[in-house]
Structures are given as C-alpha cells and as structure tokens.
Amino acid sequence: MRVLGVDFGKRKIGLALSDPLGMAHPLGTEKVSGLHSVVEKILELVKEKEVSEVVLGYPLKQDGTVGEMALEVQKLADLLKKEGLKVVLVDERFSSERAVRSLHIMGKKTGKNKRDIDTMAAALLLQEYLDRTSKREN
C-alpha cells in the first residue's frame, strides 16, 4: 500500500505519493474549494492509487503554536478519519523554503509557479515521514 502526502492550501493542495520502495514522488496540485472538496479529492486518490495512509502537512507557526491554517488541517484530518483513513500530521514549518531550494538545485525556476513549490513541499514532507517510519521499523 502507498502513502499520500498532502500540502494543504485553501485554494489548492500539493500532492505526493510514495512508491513501493519508500520514495516520495510529486503528483501535482489540485484546485479545491473548501474542506469537503479536499476530502473528495483525497478519497478519490486513496481509491485510485490504493493508499493506506494520508500524511498532512501541519502548518504550525514559527514558534510552534497552532494558528488558523493548522486548525483547518486538523478539521481536514478529523473529516478524513471519519471516512476510516489513517491520518498523520507532520510539522511542515519551512517546507516551502525547502521546496524552493530543492527546485533551484534541480535547475527549475520557481518564480510565479507556486504549483511546483506546493507539490515539492508535499513530496518533502512525505519523504521526511517515510524516512522517519522506516528508521523505527529497522
């Protein structure tokens, strides 16, 4: 089974998917309009890609406190759990900055293309989670 990584935004979500070897791969972005459309898209991907677990980026403030966006992600997590999904929240502070650096290293210009940043951020947070869980299993 695979793991889906989600970088949540109010207008679009960045998506990444694990492969059987435990590597995260960017899936792209999806436009959304509210939490229920995010839930629908995630449920569609769970079925289509045989996903067993969803990793949500949890956007804490720089000082580690919970803000408005983190509360939205918690609501999303609760809705997904009601659908029977295993959901994990991963601290995503500085994930966008790391995504921009990664894209620059790959030779991609980010400029106004926020889609690449969102999907790379999803892949980075998913890979961080996969690496952490594989260390625990070994």
Q: Where are the domains of the chain?
A: 2-137
Of the CATH numbers 3.40.50.2300, 3.40.50.700, 3.30.420.140, 3.40.50.620, which one belongs to the domain with range 2-137? 3.30.420.140
Residues 78, 64, 31, 126, CA torsion sign: negative
Other C-beta atoms closer than 10 Å to the C-beta of 132 total 11
- Going residue by residue through the chain, which has 138 residues, state the pLDDT in tens, using 9 for 90 and above: 899 999 998 899 999 999 999 999 999 999 999 999 999 999 999 999 999 999 999 988 888 888 899 999 999 999 999 999 999 999 886 555 665 555 556 556 555 556 567 788 899 899 999 999 986 665
Reported as half-sphere exposure (CB side, CA atoms, 13 A), residue 13 has a value of: 29
Closest among 134, 105, 115 to 24, alpha carbons compared: 134
Spatial neighbors of 42 by CB under 8 A, at least 6 apart, are 4, 6, 54, 80, 85
Question: pTM of the full predicted structure?
Answer: 0.84
